[in-house]
Amino acid sequence: MVAKGLFTPASLGVTVETTAFSLVSISTVVVILRFYCRVWIVKKLKSYDYMIAGAVVCTWGLCVINHYQVLYGTGSGAWPADLPPPSAEFTLKGVLGAAKAWYGYQIVYLLVPALVKLSILVFYLTIATHRPFRIIVYSAIAFVTIYSFIMIVVNAFECPRKPSLVFEPEIFVMREQWHCFNLTALYFSQSALNIFSDLFILVLPLPVLVKLHMPTTKRICLLIVFSIGLLVPIAASFRLWILYLWHDAPPDISRYYGGYILFWDAVELNTAIICASAPSLQPLFRRAFGELRTLSRGRSAYYYYGDNREGTVGRRRSRRLDQEIPLQRRPASREVHKRSHGELESDLVVIREMNNEEDIRIWAQASAISPTSTHSEPHPPRSPARPRDLLASG
């Protein structure tokens, strides 16, 4: 007997493994492209990049664990009536293997969304300019960290009186005797908190992005990129629905519904990794396809003197490091910032392209200061007065 009203092959094993390994391969490619952008284009790796890499590694581990879950019967229906019943040794081996695989699964599953959420929140800190927004982000980081740690500990010690019971076949029949935690309540609470935190993290930056003083087209593109994350709580909601079906299923098909849980786990986690990496891929598209005309007006490159780390016109020593453009008005597409000869040994112009975080941060800082309309365009730079400036402004 198998579930009714769903995609119901005789066994979900092939579907689960094909989906899991296909999606994690796509996630891996996306993260590799992300690291390419960060290392070779932006030339800077940050802590949230390593977090998302850790999430990918854990997702590969989850795929291996799920392979063994399928091997030991998860996603399979009742034993076929036309076959002789399995031996006691075969049954014991399958139950013991399923217990160990499920124990590893429920811990690693909690690590992946925690790393993805923390990666996104730490990214928010790099674009946050307002103190209230930063306080909210720090509070969200604390909540995700504490909640994930508690859930991992609870799952790791689900039978406090006899922790080793989770590695024994009796875990499926002696839970009440050893006063183990109620897995049903635990899984439902985890899913509900996951969906809530996903939605909260999704909407957290939207008010800031809406208020940015930048060209409307670029603001809309940023909103679309961030809104892609809506796919994650949608996938998590499907998983919650499957948990409900699994809980209410008769014993002979509850193991079959376990395959659906593994399927939606793969969809949810890999979608989260891909969506979290989407903003970091923008430099790659700019380099591969060129910047669209509608976006080029909002390009946040600026000019300054001295620091010759990137894009230097000539090479001469400077005492001063990178100085940000003044924020009395919104940053122009190309800004020429002059310093007196007393500040520098050199008056050479240095050009640097901002990365995405700096781009949004500068616009946010300017938006907080400038009273101008969100639809007004940045002022064009004044005509350069010297051939050197003409070269730099080209």
* Per-residue pLDDT band at 347 (split at 50, 70, 90): very low
Residue type, position 212, single letter:
L
Both tokens of 286, joined, read 């700019």
Tokens 């996104």 — which residue? 120
The amino acid occupying position 316 is R
Separation between Cα atoms, residue 110 and residue 341, nearest integer Å: 57
Q: How far apart are the C-alpha atoms of 207 and 153, rounded to whole Å?
A: 35
| DSSP string covering 169-198 | GGGGT-TTTTT---HHHHHHHHHHHHHHHH
* Secondary structure (DSSP) of 191-232: HHHHHHHHHHHHHTTHHHHHT--S-HHHHHHHHHHHHGGGHH
The residues near 27 (Cβ < 8 Å, ≥ 6 apart) are 56, 59, 270, 273, 274
- Total Cβ atoms within 10 A of residue 113: 25
| 252 Cβ contact list (under 8 Å, min separation 6) | 1, 77, 78
Cα–Cα separations (whole angstroms), residue 63 to 10, 26, 56, 134:
21, 13, 11, 35
CA–CA gap between residue 306 and residue 178 (Å, rounded): 70
Please give the helix or strand (H or E) that residue 152 lies within, else none: helix 131-156
- Domain ranges in the chain are 13-288, 299-394
pTM over 0.85: no
At residue 313, φ and ψ (nearest 5 deg) are -95, 95
CATH ID of 13-288, from 1.10.3470, 1.10.700, 1.20.1070, 1.10.10: 1.20.1070
pLDDT at 359 (0 to 100): 58
pLDDT digits (tens, 9 = 90+) for 276-289: 998 888 777 776 66
Choose the weakest-confidence range: 88-92, 121-125, 222-226, 323-327. 323-327
Query: Where would I find the beta strands (DSSP E) of the chain?
Result: 301-305, 349-353
Q: What is the pLDDT of residue 355?
A: 52
Which of the four pLDDT bands, split at 50, 70 and 90, describes residue 195? very high
Residue with the larger pLDDT of the pair 392 and 178: 178
Answer for the pair 323, 295: CB distance below 8 angstroms, yes or no.
no
What's the rounded Cα separation, in Å, for the pair 240 and 237?
A: 5
Q: Which pair of structure tokens corresponds to residue 198?
A: 């996903």
Residue 101: which of 66, 75, 77 has the closest Cα? Answer: 66
* 10-35 residue pLDDT tens: 788 889 999 999 999 999 999 999 99
- Going by pLDDT thresholds of 50, 70 and 90, the confidence category of residue 384 is very low
